[in-house]
Structure 1
Amino acid sequence: MLHKRIESFIKEPKKALLKLSLPIVIGMFVQVMYNIVDTAFVGRLGAESIAALTFSFPVFFILIGLNAGLGIGMSSRISRFLGEGKKEDAENTAMHGIILSIIFSIVLTITGMIFIKPLFSMFGATETVLHLSISYMSILFYGMIFMFLSFIISSIFSAQGDTKTPTKIQIFGLVTNIILDPIFIYTFNLGVKGAAIATVISIFLSLMLSVYYLKKDSKLIIHPRSFKYSSKLLKEIMFIGIPASLIMLMMSLYVMIINRLMAYFGTDYVASFGLVSRLDSVAIMPIVALSMAIMVLVGMFYGAKRIDLVKEIVKYGTKIGIMFTLVIALLFFIFPSLSIRIFTADTNLILMGIPYLKLDILTFPFIVVTMIISRAMQGMGNGMPGFVVNLIRSLIIAVPLSYLFVFVLGYGYLSVAVAALIGNIAAAIVSIIWFLYEIGKAEEKRTRTKYNKLI
């Protein structure tokens, strides 16, 4: 059955890309809804409770980033093994991922519990907010092992070309969270702590459902007997996983730096930048899903030594991604006020956000190129290009240029958007050159292998 699925992907790669992408988009939307649901219910408790969640979310997203990096490293290797027809090696990789997720979650839980108080104090939390933030995050830390395992199992399904099952599990978790939030927050009168308990229970139940589907529907047999320790395999997972995690951490750092820079102009400018960033995340969400699907397919095609299909799917995915973002960019350009008004009714923020948004949308096509090529090379087993191009884009070009424009040349806040555009153009160019180089190497290696077989 698994072999037939891979054959169908090879036969119709374009259809496979769209088939894999849609469930990922839905799954990402569900993840966004998790945060909205918690904020909506906690919001009724007052400003201090909202502030507690605001302080907690960056820490939570860092943990998600580390988890996602591990999942990307594991799923990339699984998909390449499946493309090579090495099912047992794929199963062993899955077991390595599960064991690593358990170890990581335990280490992070212990570390988090030790450093959570000084960390929130450093962020500037007041005494009351500090207490609420610690009570919220402490419970989430205790549930960290459930979150890590649930995500890893979802990644195992995705690596097999099954993105529907993880989406079902995510929807189940969201519905459970919506039901449990008001019960623990209001009925049991636990407030912010109740929101955390509801989240952990929903994640635990999602994990139980994941295990059920893993036994019932997975084409890979995941069992301790499948595990054979391999330091080489461990290095391969981490070689992709660590850069993937660092990319997410780097993006968080970039936003924090730009927030501080915008604060130079005033609080309203920070808020305006935040609103445009939210629109960005909504517009780019389908592209993230598309790039994740491309990573899985590229892994399978690369493992099967079908370099022609790797090039075809990257080219097709990039074209689809650019067309989609151009449509979104056009809508934002024609209806900028209406777009920003989704998040605020403040006229001043809308007026400040409009010119920034019109510059910001110019980055969309370049973001598509960088994101898809980075994921494609992760699928080929190389996590470093994605890290390097994102480093170039944000911390090497965009941040220094922003400071140059604002503090040295005395330009206004819109110069920050120009700096971001320049960074994205540079990253896209480097991505294309690097990808063509890697593809050239892969084709040369394949030709050399064929020649050696002939002689």
Structure 2
Amino acid sequence: MKTQSERLGSEPIPKLLWRLSVPAMIGMIVMALYNVVDTIFIARGVGIIGVAGVSISFPVMMIMMAISGAVGIGGASVISRRLGSNRAEDANEVLGNILIMVIAVSVISFIGAFTFVEPLIRLFGATDEMLPYATDYIFPIMVGSIFFTFAFTSNNIIRSEGNARFAMITMIVPAILNIILDPIFIFGLDMGVRGASLATVISQASVTILVIRYFTSGKSTLQVGLQYLRPNFRLMREVIGIGLPAFVRQVGGSAMMIAINAMLIRFGGQFEVGVFGIVQKVTMFTIMPMLGVLQGMQPIVGYNYGAQQYARLREIIWLGLRVATVMSTIVFIVMMVIPHYFMMIFTGDEATIETGANALRIMYMAFIVIGAQIISGGLYQSLGLAKPALILSISRQVMFLIPLVLILPYIGGLGVTGVWLAFPIADGLAFILTVVLLYRDRHLFFKKGEDDGVYQEVPQS
């Protein structure tokens, strides 16, 4: 087993979390940045109607991310525990079955691009005016879904073996390329929204080449070979079962987007949908550092749980919760004080800035508790505990946020403000549920083991 994987069970926890989380945070922030840049160029090159069209089509992309996330996160959990138990051949077989699932999903998406994409966009709430922009954006992404799905899935797998640095590279390379290609396609070639979409597909295709070379060059702890590309439906069920919470969370996010867009159109109009398209990008950017901490934690948790090193497991849980809570508190303060500066990045229109800043202040009122929610949901996934992970995954968006979005606008004439208020209320309710589950399962996370207090250093490579 390579040193990058052995460190998961021996290097001091704070140093290890730093080593794995910082690259993940950098990579995710850069990825969020290119999503932000996409929206900036579309807003300034096409207008708020272009942003509204992308916002309407985004649930389709979120469904693709949901499937990729289920396969990637579920596979990463299984692989890290196999490596922790010193079962390298089994881990290789898991990787082979993940590749089979990625190909199957990509074929379905490719066919869908030519058959049902327009009816799907209309189902998600597109008006006649928004429809051309929405289809222009999502069609190339569905056609090139093999690159998108493979890149998203493989990033989780690379992190599961402890190689956070290369996982970071696989996020930074497409982000930078996308940022370079956006103005060329949108402005230089006058392709509008479709130009932004093509830039995304090309950037993901570039990283696919890097990842394939990584797995075939011997740099990975895992091995790719024809002998591992045999369907094993028991393994597939295990991967999908553990990844199901990630799938439900993303699909819930897609359903949330549909519900929000529908209510914004009903009580406001296309302008409010466009504003939410910008607000959503800001939210994505602020949540990425906490997701980076989670991504750094997950291989450590899975490996040490598989190796029955429970003292290390306890330490990484507490450290991750503290770090994520500090981050969410900082974001809360910033959003209460200067939300308008984030809107000004995207547009100079005073009405858009004012509406978006007001929405951000309301939506972030309970953001302090977000960090604990993110860490806890990922913690259950890392341990292979699918049921509580599923409950936490659907709690905020499906159990609380969507019903609140559909109800609050009708109460007391709240209208669009009710849509924004649904976010902090859902955050508070989801946090209460998180605390209840963590307290119930404290015996799993904080069990005693023979390794208590024992740490080892490994040679630096």
State the TM-score, normalizing by the size of structure 1: 0.84
2:129, 2:325 → 1: CA distance? 47
SS in 1 for 2:115: helix
Q: Report what 1:305 is aligned to.
A: 308
Q: Report what 1:393 is aligned to.
A: 396
Instruction: For 1:335-346, list aligned pairs within 5 A.
Output: 335-346=338-349
Kindly indicate whether the alpha-carbon contact (under 8 Å) linking 2:34 and 2:175 is maintained by their aligned counterparts in 1. yes
Q: Report what 2:66 is aligned to.
A: 65
- Residue 80 in structure 1 maps to residue 81 in structure 2: yes
Q: 1:274 to 1:12 in 2, by over 3 A?
A: same
CA distances 1:197-228 after superposition (whole Å, capped 9, x unpaired) = 44433322221111112223212222222345
CA distances 1:233-269 after superposition (whole Å, capped 9, x unpaired) = 2111010222211101102322332343345553466
In the TM superposition, residue 125 of structure 1 has moved relative to its aligned partner by 5.0
2:236, 2:54 → 1: CA distance? 35
1:445, 1:320 → 2: CA distance? 23
Q: 1:366 to 1:128 in 2, by over 3 A?
A: closer
Identity %: 29
Q: 1:7 to 1:30 in 2, by over 3 A?
A: closer
- Residue 288 in structure 1 maps to residue 291 in structure 2: yes
In the TM superposition, residue 304 of structure 1 has moved relative to its aligned partner by 1.0
1:283, 1:263 → 2: CA distance? 26
Q: Report what 1:170 is aligned to.
A: 171
Q: Which residue identity lines up with residue 95 of structure 1 in the other structure?
A: G
SS in 1 for 2:91: helix
Q: 1:102 to 1:420 in 2, by over 3 A?
A: same
2:286, 2:183 → 1: CA distance? 31
Q: 1:256 to 1:118 in 2, by over 3 A?
A: closer
- Residue 427 in structure 1 maps to residue 434 in structure 2: no
Q: In the alignment, which of 226, 229, 248 is matched to residue 228 of structure 2?
A: 226
Kindly indicate whether the alpha-carbon contact (under 8 Å) linking 2:65 and 2:250 is maintained by their aligned counterparts in 1. no
Q: Report what 1:323 is aligned to.
A: 326
Kindly indicate whether the alpha-carbon contact (under 8 Å) linking 1:247 and 1:386 is maintained by their aligned counterparts in 2. no
1:258, 1:127 → 2: CA distance? 19
Q: Report what 2:455 is aligned to.
A: none
Q: 1:262 to 1:92 in 2, by over 3 A?
A: same
Q: Single out whichever of 251-260 and 13-22 deviates more from structure 2.
A: 251-260
1:181, 1:355 → 2: CA distance? 29
Kindly indicate whether the alpha-carbon contact (under 8 Å) linking 1:307 and 1:439 is maintained by their aligned counterparts in 2. no
Kindly indicate whether the alpha-carbon contact (under 8 Å) linking 1:321 and 1:368 is maintained by their aligned counterparts in 2. yes
SS in 1 for 2:26: helix
In the TM superposition, residue 303 of structure 1 has moved relative to its aligned partner by 0.8
SS in 2 for 1:24: helix
2:422, 2:133 → 1: CA distance? 38
Q: 1:157 to 1:403 in 2, by over 3 A?
A: closer
1:444, 1:194 → 2: CA distance? 53
CA distances 1:281-337 after superposition (whole Å, capped 9, x unpaired) = 322210111112222211111111123322221211111111122122223323344
Q: 1:439 to 1:149 in 2, by over 3 A?
A: same
- Residue 235 in structure 1 maps to residue 237 in structure 2: yes
Q: 1:233 to 1:192 in 2, by over 3 A?
A: same
1:403, 1:40 → 2: CA distance? 29
> Considering only aligned residues, what root-mean-square deviation do their CA atoms show, in Å?
3.4
In the TM superposition, residue 425 of structure 1 has moved relative to its aligned partner by 2.4
Q: Single out whichever of 362-371 and 65-74 deviates more from structure 2.
A: 362-371
Q: 1:129 to 1:253 in 2, by over 3 A?
A: closer
- Residue 200 in structure 1 maps to residue 201 in structure 2: yes
Instruction: For 1:244-255, list aligned pairs within 5 A.
Output: 244-255=246-257
1:283, 1:237 → 2: CA distance? 29
1:402, 1:166 → 2: CA distance? 36
In the TM superposition, residue 102 of structure 1 has moved relative to its aligned partner by 0.8
Q: Which residue identity lines up with residue 172 of structure 1 in the other structure?
A: V
Q: 1:85 to 1:438 in 2, by over 3 A?
A: farther
Instruction: Decide which structure has the larger Cα Rg and report it.
Output: 1
CA distances 1:361-419 after superposition (whole Å, capped 9, x unpaired) = 33223211111010011000123323323433233334444555442444575555554
1:191, 1:414 → 2: CA distance? 31
Q: 1:230 to 1:440 in 2, by over 3 A?
A: farther
SS in 2 for 1:114: coil
Q: Which residue identity lines up with residue 335 of structure 1 in the other structure?
A: I
Q: Single out whichever of 180-189 and 202-211 deviates more from structure 2.
A: 180-189
Q: 1:80 to 1:129 in 2, by over 3 A?
A: same
Q: Which residue identity lines up with residue 35 of structure 1 in the other structure?
A: N
Q: Which residue identity lines up with residue 77 of structure 2 in the other structure?
A: S
1:192, 1:397 → 2: CA distance? 33
2:264, 2:91 → 1: CA distance? 47
Kindly indicate whether the alpha-carbon contact (under 8 Å) linking 2:249 and 2:397 is maintained by their aligned counterparts in 1. no
- Residue 110 in structure 1 maps to residue 111 in structure 2: yes
Q: Single out whichever of 131-140 and 211-220 deviates more from structure 2.
A: 131-140
Q: Report what 2:384 is aligned to.
A: 381
Q: Report what 1:450 is aligned to.
A: none
2:114, 2:230 → 1: CA distance? 32
Q: 1:413 to 1:196 in 2, by over 3 A?
A: closer
Q: What are structure 2's unaligned runs of at least 5 residues? A: 451-461
Q: Single out whichever of 238-247 and 147-156 deviates more from structure 2.
A: 147-156
CA distances 1:81-120 after superposition (whole Å, capped 9, x unpaired) = 1111111111111111111111111122223421112223
Q: Report what 1:29 is aligned to.
A: 29
Structure with more of its chain in helix, by fraction: 1
Kindly indicate whether the alpha-carbon contact (under 8 Å) linking 1:385 and 1:431 is maintained by their aligned counterparts in 2. no
2:321, 2:159 → 1: CA distance? 20
Q: 1:436 to 1:85 in 2, by over 3 A?
A: farther
1:353, 1:253 → 2: CA distance? 22
SS in 2 for 1:25: helix
Kindly indicate whether the alpha-carbon contact (under 8 Å) linking 2:32 and 2:288 is maintained by their aligned counterparts in 1. no
1:302, 1:416 → 2: CA distance? 41
Q: Report what 2:335 is aligned to.
A: 332
Of structures 1 and 2, the one with the larger relative CO (CA 8 A, separation 6+) is 2
In the TM superposition, residue 356 of structure 1 has moved relative to its aligned partner by 4.8
Q: Report what 1:213 is aligned to.
A: 214
Q: 1:146 to 1:302 in 2, by over 3 A?
A: same
Q: Report what 1:145 is aligned to.
A: 146
Q: Single out whichever of 206-215 and 95-104 deviates more from structure 2.
A: 206-215
